[in-house]
Structure 1
Amino acid sequence: MISWWKHMALWKKIFIGLCLGLIVGLLFKDVALMLKPLGTLFINLIKMLIVPLIFATLVTGITSMEDLSKMRRIGLKTFSIYLVTTAIAVAIGLAFGIFFEPGAGVALNNTAAVVAKKAPPLIDTLLALITTNPVESLAKGDILQIIFFAIFLGISISLAGEKGKPVAAFFDSFSEVMFKMTEIVISFAPIGVFGLMAWVSASYGIDVLISLAKVIACVYIASIIHMALTMGGGIALLARLNPITFFKGVASAQTVAFTTTSSSGTLPITTSNAIHNLGVSKPIASFVLPLTGCDHQYGWNRDLPRYLCDVRGASLWR
């Protein structure tokens, strides 16, 4: 039994943990509510990796390219893919909202407390990219500022030539250590997912799911359409990769993204899947994924379709 579990694919283990958590939460509510610490511990471990992993891998990705013109080309391609797939995702979401009106008749509590959040002016967003204290930004986890500083540092290391190579070597070793740490944390994913799903299903129950059945159905159907057509089609036409191979390669990260509802929290697993399962080179994965796969204060990338776009954006540069 232990040998069978040990040799099972990670995504299968995570899926089993998800299903068992759902069942335990529905059948044994009191016990399931006590399992929340398992999920919290796993999420905290994942979050612990985010800042150092983004910083180290992004610097390494830039210094590994050597040719800065290549970085510019990849950056433009990544940004273009990001915009196109985002536009398609928005169009699909609007279409489902207009035709099916999934929220009609659903009563929301405390609606008076809901306040629309106004997007900050573009100039403020651009100015906020530049940190006045990189150490403080790293401590606070300000992802946009960390990314900007990491890119700036990586470019400066490359321009420094021979004298910058010891620094590049340090970050290369540091990123390898972070990847190894990521592997260790990922190995606990089935337990963490089990705890999360058990607590969620016990806390909300089947009645809440039934009352929101139309909303949930629209979200999942729209997501499946986006994954199958936008992501699968892009993978087949642009990356020349079998979509089935792609989705199998990111299955474990998909499952973790589904249970944690966070693309930034899934970044370590996303990066590992892109490199080890899809054959994306470390420099490309290290450069592309941190740029497009992080939640931050402006609310980008907060759903599963966007996460899939992140991995596809990296796989195009294999």
Structure 2
Amino acid sequence: MTLTKKILLGMFLGIIVGIFLNLVTPQAYPTIETYILSPVGKIFISLIKLLVVPIVIVSIILGTAGISDPKKLGRIGTKTIVFFLTTTAIALTLAIGLATLFQPGVGNFQLEGAQFEGKEAPPIVDTLLNIVPTNPFEAMTEGNMLQVIFFSILVGFAISQLQGRVKLVVDFLDQANDILMFLVGVIMKLAPYGAFALIAVAIGGQGIDAILAMAKYFGIVLLALFAHLVITYGSAVAMFGKTNPITFIKNFSPALAVAFSTSSSSATLPVSMDVAQKKLNIPKSISGFVQPLGATINMDGTAIMQGVATIFIAQVYAVDLSMGDLLTVVLTATLASIGTAGVPGVGLIMLSMVLTSIGLPVEAIGLILGVDRLLDMTRTAVNITGDATCALMIAKGEERHAESYSEAIAES
């Protein structure tokens, strides 16, 4: 069996075990979860997270160094940011449209038990200013990915300008990259077991009752995620990436399975980069630059959840949102995708910002907490697909740019 099939089998068995524990032996679930399932899942996630910061540093330095032309680096960076912000706005618009059409919040919902204590998100300006680290080693220790990325880009730029004078450093980084990717392969052999444990905990902990109570909201978020995946990313892959979308998804499926299991774009980053480079044939320089940046600021799946959740909560409280309110939701959530990058619980923090901006009660987030863990798994898979789509699109664009430049030189 291929690794992807093993992971999918592990996920399927995890669903069966989770349902069994929740419905048949709920009294045994806490013990099994505490001593078997959670330790296995946490060990798997910890092993992957162990490699995240080293891989981000090495890949971005090599990626930036490989783009020796500052104009090319600026072009790729601009394309990346524009793609992420544009697709986030599209995701929000799609989510708001579907939620308005199907009205998941119309019905009888118990509001008394809805509780949520929102954490204050840092202002966007402060986040942008804090991108520049005062101590890069502290940023690495704390896992502040924006600061780590900024430092790595600076080092990569310096290497690109010094070129042959620092060949020893480049050789060291190349070999370090080989070591890290080998370790990714080793850890991925444990992925089926990690997927089994993580899915069993998610299903067993939430239960069927929570899912049924929020079935309409749950279904609309999944529909919006699927539509965004097929329409937005599928179109970008076909039109700009010059690749069959089905082939793209098939080749990228190992990373999608890990994303679904871990619910973490950062934790999935080593796997998604490895798959993008080996199976999608995206150059290391572009993959190493675009995907770590995307894992930090690209949150289309989260944006879809925010759009549907905002309309759902407004409908539950019978609040009519104006066109201005809807535009505020799109703008706030799009900017917040960068402004709250790297903050734990980023999805719910961003949602609390959006609700506050249009005057809806933040405690209403408690209504969706029951199914958010399951939806988080799906939207993480959508997030990393967006990162890979952007990397593929830019890679093909740079190929066309190089061909046009060569033709222009030949004609002159």
Give the TM-score normalised by the residue count of structure 2: 0.71
Kindly indicate whether the alpha-carbon contact (under 8 Å) linking 1:60 and 1:154 is maintained by their aligned counterparts in 2: yes
SS in structure 2 opposite 1:241? coil
TM-score norm. by structure 1 comes to 0.91
Which of 81, 95, 112 is 1:79 aligned to? 81
Work out which of the residue numbers 4, 9, 20 in structure 2 matches 1:27: 20
**Aligned residue type for 1:17:** G
Correspondence for 1:297: 343
Q: 2:117 is matched with which residue: 114, 119, 137?
A: 114
- Deviation (angstroms), 1:119: 5.0
**Matches of 2:235 and 2:256 in 1, distance apart?**
18
1:53-83 per-residue CA deviation (whole Å, 9 max, x = no partner) reads 1011100111122223222221111112112
- Match of residue 97, structure 1, among 92, 96, 99: 99
- Kept in 1: contact 2:184–2:271 (CA 8 A): yes
- Separation in 2, partners of 1:103, 1:174: 51
Partner of 1:312: 389
Q: Which deviates more, 21-30 or 109-118?
A: 109-118
Match of 1:223 in 2: 225
Tell me if the contact between 1:158 and 1:164 (Cα under 8 Å) persists in the aligned partners.
Answer: no
Name the aligned partner's letter for residue 118 of structure 2.
V
**Secondary structure of the corresponding residue to residue 250 of structure 1:** helix
Q: Say whether 1:160 aligns with 2:206.
A: no
Encode CA deviations 1:222-275: one digit per residue, 9 max, x unaligned.
111000100111101111100000111111211221222211111111101111
The one of 187, 190, 207 equivalent to 1:188 is 190
The 1:68–1:187 alpha-carbon spacing in structure 2 relative to 1, beyond 3 Å, is farther
Structure 2 counterpart of 1:202, one-letter code:
G
Kept in 1: contact 2:8–2:257 (CA 8 A): yes
Aligned-residue offset at 1:99: 2.4
Partner deviation per Cα, 1:8-62 (whole Å, 9 max, x = no partner): 2222211111110010111245365232211111111111111111011100111
Question: CA deviation digits over 1:165-205, x for unaligned, max 9?
Answer: 22222112111211111111122111100011112222222
SS at structure 2 position matched to 1:46: helix
The reply to whether residue 201 of structure 1 matches residue 203 of structure 2 is yes
**Whole-Å Cα distance in 2 between the matches of residues 109 and 49 of structure 1?**
43
Change (3 A) 1:199 1:281: same
Q: 1:89 to 1:59 in 2, by over 3 A?
A: same
- Number of aligned residue pairs: 310
Structure 1, unmatched stretches of 5+, are 1-7
**Greater Cα offset, 167-176 or 231-240:** 167-176
1:51 equivalent in structure 2: 53
Asked if structure 1 preserves the Cα contact closer than 8 Å seen for 2:18 and 2:203, the reply is yes
Task: Determine helix, strand or coil for the equivalent of 1:35.
Answer: helix
Query: Could you tell me whether the CA contact under 8 Å between 1:53 and 1:268 is conserved in 2?
Result: yes
For residues 113-157 of structure 1, the C-alpha deviation after alignment (integer angstroms, 9 at most, x for no partner) is: 4336455042x1221001111111111111000000000111011
Equivalent residue of 1:293, what SS? helix
Higher alpha-carbon deviation: 61-70 or 208-217: 61-70
* Cα shift at 1:110: 5.8
The aligned counterpart of 2:148 is 146
Q: Could you tell me which residue of structure 1 aligns to residue 138 of structure 2?
A: 136
On the 8 A contact 1:86/1:306 being kept in 2, the answer is no
Q: SS at the partner of 2:240?
A: helix
Identity rate of aligned residues, in percent? 35
Amino acid at match of 1:23: I
Aligned to 2:11: 18
Q: Structure 2: which amino acid aligns with 1:25?
A: G
Secondary structure at the counterpart of residue 123 of structure 2? coil
CA distance in 2, matches of 1:108, 1:183: 47
Which of 172, 178, 181 is 1:179 aligned to? 181
Change in 2 beyond 3 A, CA 1:108/1:26: farther
Secondary structure of 2:79's counterpart equals: helix
> Which structure 1 residue ranges, 4+ long, deviate > 6 Å from structure 2?
none
- Segments of 5+ residues of structure 2 without an aligned counterpart are 297-340, 351-375, 397-412
1:290-309: CA deviation from partner (whole Å, max 9, x where unpaired):
11113612848973332211
* 1:314 partner letter: A
**Aligned-partner SS, 1:147:** helix
> Structure 1 counterpart of 2:343, which letter?
Q
Worse overlay, 28-37 or 289-298: 28-37
Partner Cα distance (2:110, 2:154) in 1? 48
